[in-house]
């Protein structure tokens, strides 16, 4: 069998609070890598504590890419992410470094590694109009409208999934073609990398739940609610007709904190709701990761030796082509 001459990259995947960030930083430091964040919350400025964004010291030790790409009221699609991530990877390879793709947003990983079918770009004015209409009529009414113009998409999208309803209606309004038809089109060529997928997840669900609770309590101690108060004070969010429909503020913890500061919950109820929402996110991520059949699974607390051996074995096959540009 001929040697695989594609440049290597390592994807560090896993549910939230599984230790991906710490491991990715250690990996990049040890093997001369740079980190490309694959996280739909970390792209937003001001979402720091609650999104577990790497801090200044961590970012100083290892170059990070695709953090703080947008303001929290600005849209950022998976397709935009794929373009930006590809450019970042090209730069990393040109510098002779190892791309380390880290975090747990499945759609972003899919967009980057497998490609997405091309479709119309986001239209901020149209999105604002749809959000305003939803504020008056409710997203369930817009879901019913989606069912009329694109029954296939409506069958897959829940009536409370504001982001996907908005995008599907936006695509139809801009193109006259249902988003389900766009999604059936052939995607662009896959990213020409040789990727080792490492899936980090505790072996016991109770262990992950305990990690989630400890991390959230640490976020509270670090000033998470003050961070959200700062977001609420921004004129663009304070004047938004439906701020909790924005993708940035649908990030787990932020919605619950916003509602708590609106007086919708006590401090104890807020904590319970945020931890529950984070557990639900982890459950969805684990479901997605079970479909990544080429991922190698490790318990980061138990399988450290095997994890390091997997990385060393993979990188031992690096060739001179590893510094090549993507073509």
Four-CA torsion 172, 173, 176, 180, nearest 10 degrees: 0
Q: Note the pTM of the prediction, 2 decimals.
A: 0.83
Percent of the chain with pLDDT over 90: 79
Cα angle value 160/215/26 (rounded, 5°): 110
What is the band of 1 on the pLDDT scale with cuts at 50, 70, 90? low
Q: For residues 43 and 173, state if they share a domain.
A: no
Residue 318 in this model has a pLDDT that exceeds 80: no
Residue 46, domain member (yes or no):
yes
Per DSSP, what are the bridge partners of residue 65?
36
**Is pLDDT at 276 greater than 70 in this prediction?**
yes
Burial class (CB in 10 A: 0-12, 13-18, 19+), 2: exposed
Rounded to a whole number of angstroms, the CA Rg of the chain reads: 20
Residue with tokens 């792209």: 43
319 with 196, same domain?
Answer: yes
Q: Which two tokens stand for residue 317?
A: 């096959």
The pLDDT of residue 70 is 97
The gap from C-alpha 193 to its chain's centroid, in whole angstroms, comes to: 20
Where residue 156 sits, what CATH number does that domain have? 1.10.20.140
pLDDT for the residue numbered 322: 43
* Model pLDDT for residues 251-267, shown as the tens digit of each residue: 999 999 999 999 999 99
pLDDT at 54: 95
How far is the C-alpha of 61 from the C-alpha of 48, rounded, in Å?
A: 18
Note the helical H segments in the chain.
20-31, 56-61, 78-94, 106-113, 124-137, 139-149, 151-156, 162-175, 179-184, 205-221, 224-232, 235-238, 254-261, 267-290, 304-315
Phi, psi (rounded to 5 degrees) for 197: -95, 115
List the single range of 106-120, 153-167, 289-303 with lowest mean pLDDT. Answer: 106-120
pLDDT of 324 above 70:
no
Long-range pairs, 165-173, Cβ under 8 A, ≥24:
165/134, 165/139, 166/127, 166/130, 166/131, 166/134, 166/142, 166/245, 167/77, 167/122, 169/130, 169/142, 169/145, 170/120, 170/122, 170/123, 170/126, 170/127, 170/130, 171/119, 171/120, 172/146, 173/126
Total domains in the chain come to 2
Statement: residue 81 has pLDDT above 50? yes
Q: Which domain holds residue 171?
A: 124-184
The two three-digit tokens of residue 148, written as one number: 């009329």
Question: The CATH number of the domain where 314 resides is what?
Answer: 3.40.50.300
- The closest of 98, 100, 97, 47 to 69, measured between CA atoms, is 47
DSSP label at residue 198: E
Provide the pLDDT for residue 4. 85
pLDDT of residue 5 exceeding 80: yes
Whether the pLDDT of residue 3 is over 90: the answer is no
pLDDT of residue 207: 96
Question: Looking at the structure, do residues 15 and 130 belong to the same domain, yes or no?
Answer: no
Give burial (CB, 10 Å; 0-12/13-18/19+) of 254: buried
Same domain, 26 and 161: no
Q: What are the residues facing 8 on neighbouring strands?
A: 194
Of 169, 184, 199, which one is at a domain's C-terminal end?
184
Instruction: For residues 198 and 106, give the distance between their C-alpha atoms in angstroms, rounded to a whole number.
Output: 14
Query: Does residue 2 belong to any structural domain of this protein?
Result: no
Residue 144 and residue 237 in one domain? no
Read off the tokens for 71.
């303001």
Same domain, yes or no: 72 and 49: yes
- Has residue 219 been placed in a domain? yes
For residue 3, tell me if it sits in a domain. Answer: no
Please report whether residue 1 resides in a domain.
no
What is the total residue count of the chain? 327
Residues 292-315 have pLDDT tens digits of: 999 999 999 899 999 999 999 999
191 shares its domain with 75: yes
198-227 confidence digits (pLDDT tens): 999 999 999 999 999 999 999 999 999 999
DSSP 264: S
DSSP 8-state code for residue 244: G
Kind and range of the H or E element at 103? none
**Same domain? 313 vs 256:** yes
Examine the domain organization and report whether 194 and 289 are in the same domain.
yes
254 and 219, same structural domain? yes
């Amino acid at each position: 069998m001929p040697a695989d001459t594609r440049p290597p990259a390592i994807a560090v995947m896993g549910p939230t609070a599984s230790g991906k960030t710490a491991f990715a930083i250690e990996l990049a430091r040890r093997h001369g890598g740079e980190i490309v964040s694959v996280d739909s919350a970390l792209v937003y400025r001001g979402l720091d504590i609650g999104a577990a964004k790497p801090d200044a010291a961590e970012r100083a030790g290892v170059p990070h890419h695709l953090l703080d790409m947008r303001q929290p009221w600005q849209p950022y699609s998976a397709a935009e992410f794929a373009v930006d991530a590809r450019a970042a990877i090209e730069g990393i390879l040109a510098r002779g470094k190892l791309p380390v793709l880290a975090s747990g947003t499945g759609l972003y990983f899919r967009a980057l590694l497998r490609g997405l079918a091309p479709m119309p770009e986001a239209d901020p004015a149209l999105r604002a109009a749809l959000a305003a209409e939803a504020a008056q009529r409710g997203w369930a009414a817009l879901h019913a409208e989606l069912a009329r113009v694109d029954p296939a998409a409506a069958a897959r999208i829940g009536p409370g999934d504001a982001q996907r309803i908005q995008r599907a209606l936006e695509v139809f309004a801009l193109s006259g073609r249902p988003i389900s038809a766009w999604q059936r089109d052939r995607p662009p060529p896959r990213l020409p990398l040789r990727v080792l997928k490492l899936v980090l997840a505790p072996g016991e669900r109770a262990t992950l739940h305990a990690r989630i609770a400890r991390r959230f309590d640490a976020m509270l101690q670090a000033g998470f609610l003050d961070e959200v108060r700062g977001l609420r004070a921004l004129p663009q969010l304070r004047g938004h007709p439906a701020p909790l429909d924005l993708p940035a503020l649908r990030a787990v913890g932020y919605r619950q904190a916003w509602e708590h500061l609106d007086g919708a919950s006590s401090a104890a109820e807020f904590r319970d709701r945020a931890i529950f929402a984070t557990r639900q996110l982890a459950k969805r991520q684990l479901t997605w990761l079970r479909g990544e059949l080429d991922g190698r699974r490790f318990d980061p607390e138990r399988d450290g030796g095997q994890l390091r051996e997997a990385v060393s074995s993979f990188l031992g096959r690096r060739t001179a082509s590893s510094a090549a540009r993507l073509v």
